[in-house]
Structure 1
Amino acid sequence: MDKLKRVFIYIFLSLLAFVSIFPFLWMIISATNKSADVTQGRLLPGGQLIENLKQLFNTVDIVPALLNSAKISVTTTILAMVIASLAGYGFEIYRSKAKDIVFSILLLSMMIPFAAIMVPLFQMFGKISQVIPFIGLDTLSGVVLPTFTTAFLIFFFRQNTKMFPRELLEAGRIDGLNEISLFFRIFMPTMKTTYAAAGIITFMSSWNNYLWPLIVLQSPEKKTVPMLISNLGSSYSPDYGIIMTAIVISTIPTALVFFLMQKHFVAGMTGSVK
């Protein structure tokens, strides 16, 4: 009975794995086929990959879009790691009733959909553009500022800080370290798995962000990869082979980040501290 049960479990998990990975495989296969083959649902690799790459680079400026997405994603991730971890650390280490109330209000903000604040946010950045042009509309800074940290990230860091050994802080204070040094020299190195998990989540979210960059960025040379792919799909007669090739290229950076930090990501999501 146990063996039969184990067989069914493995079959079920194998089906789930196949369902999860099939869209990714189909995307790669489609990048090697013509547009007509993609629309017909061909599941065999073709010989059109080089031609699709040539047409993609001749049709759109994908390299500047990749650089724009990289600038936004890297900047957002670095700022998010520092600001969100500082907030989560402060909420947990220096707890008080007032801070708990503020934290509860912060969590309530997670229930507000972005569409509800989209118009006021755009108006605010429109007014900022008149005073400080380099962080207003049609700037990469305007994309980063509203998204570089979230209530979820602060909550994530606070929950993981609960497992941080307080004895290390006491030892640091005895050695004469101030509170800032404790954070940067003791807390951050100890919580590296948490930072890895949060970094992967933030980088992927920023890289794939479409709506806010679409609203803020108006110049063609400042387009990001998701905007570029959307433009390819909105043409009168879209070439799905080229679109799939662009999607494969845009997936490579996030896939590399995830696979390089996969071990730390799993440890960070389970809340382990090393």
Structure 2
Amino acid sequence: MIQRRLIPTYIFLAIVSLISVFPFYWMIMAATNNYVDVSKGKLTFGTYAAENFRNLISQQPLGLAMKNSFIYAISVTVICLFICSLAGYGFEVYHDKWKDKLFSVLLLAMMIPQVATMIPLFRMFSKAGLLNTVLAFFLPMISTPFMIMMFRQNSRAFPVDIVEAARIDGLSEIKIFFQMYMPVMKSTYAAAAVITFMNAWNAYLWPKVCMTDGKSLNMVMLIANMTGGYKIDYGMIMMGVLFCSIPTLVIFFVLQKQFAEGITGAVK
């Protein structure tokens, strides 16, 4: 039986939950209606889902954008997890008097907004001839101060005695990292994978700058391009947004438990 003093708390949580879920509900409803019903604010299922899907695949390069988004997001996620976990492991396990000072300088990079580095990065990649390539997309994203800090903080729960015992047994540093550190820190890897994949999948500003070729657009750029013109088909746009949201939702729900453990720093 619910205590009376908790009733206001549950009512507040229910209202907040409804507010949080409503945009996702409205997106699904809008994807099944035409642009007239969406403009009128219709909040029930419609009969235009198949038509919106046909318009989307016939008027927009949906397959190309999905393929590019998967290539970009998976490449960034895999490489970022390896580099940032290696850096976080090194900052925590190896001892050096300059380690903390270097880490403090690294954290200062978190205070620099992305737009401040946009023009220098564009000039660098333009001179290197890397525009409209996968390298141009993921090189600025494969190592972030936040991910390095996250792996270092969670590495503090990693039992250092295991490393010392492995060194005595003659295990190399590389094998210690791959065979002992990575399996133990799997929850942290899961949490970092969710965050990195979602950031890479939803990236818009930097891809818009470095991907000037139409063959390099991702899903977010595709949806942004659909909002131009004199007539905006909101039903088709919401169908595109629905397709863009599905991969990140699947990744999050599959790794939901590991994500919660990794965020709280749990180590098994």
Q: If the TM-score is normalised by the length of the shorter chain, which range does it land in?
A: over 0.9
In the other structure, the counterpart of 2:92 is: 92
In the other structure, the counterpart of 1:71 is: 71
Task: Give the aligned length.
Answer: 267
In the other structure, the counterpart of 1:152 is: 146
What is the alpha-carbon distance in structure 2 between the residues aligned to residue 127 and residue 176 of structure 1? 46
Deviation, 1:181, is 0.8
Deviates more, 1:54-63 or 1:165-174: 165-174
Deviation, 1:171, is 2.1
Alignment counterpart, residue 167 of structure 1, candidates 156, 161, 168? 161
In the other structure, the counterpart of 1:23 is: 23
Deviation, 1:40, is 1.3
What secondary structure does 2:43 align onto?
coil
Deviation, 1:138, is 1.2
What secondary structure does 1:104 align onto?
helix
TM-score normalised by the chain length of structure 1: 0.96
Write out aligned runs for 1:1-274 (5 A).
3-129=3-129, 136-274=130-268
What secondary structure does 1:145 align onto?
helix
Deviates more, 1:150-159 or 1:38-47: 38-47
Deviation, 1:175, is 2.0
What secondary structure does 2:140 align onto?
coil
What secondary structure does 2:245 align onto?
helix
Structure 1: 5+ residue stretches without partners: 130-135
What is the alpha-carbon distance in structure 1 between the residues aligned to residue 187 and residue 203 of structure 2? 24
What secondary structure does 2:116 align onto?
helix
Amino acid in the other structure paired with 2:251: V
Deviates more, 1:207-216 or 1:170-179: 170-179
What is the alpha-carbon distance in structure 2 between the residues aligned to residue 107 and residue 76 of structure 1? 21
Amino acid in the other structure paired with 2:171: L
What is the alpha-carbon distance in structure 2 between the residues aligned to residue 190 and residue 89 of structure 1? 12
CA deviation vs aligned residue, 1:174-221 (integer Å, no higher than 9, x gap): 221011111111000000000000000000000000011111111111
Identity among equivalent positions (%) equals: 46
Amino acid in the other structure paired with 1:19: I
What secondary structure does 1:163 align onto?
coil
Structure 2: 5+ residue stretches without partners: none
Deviates more, 1:38-47 or 1:194-203: 38-47
CA deviation vs aligned residue, 1:11-41 (integer Å, no higher than 9, x gap): 1111111111110111011100110111111
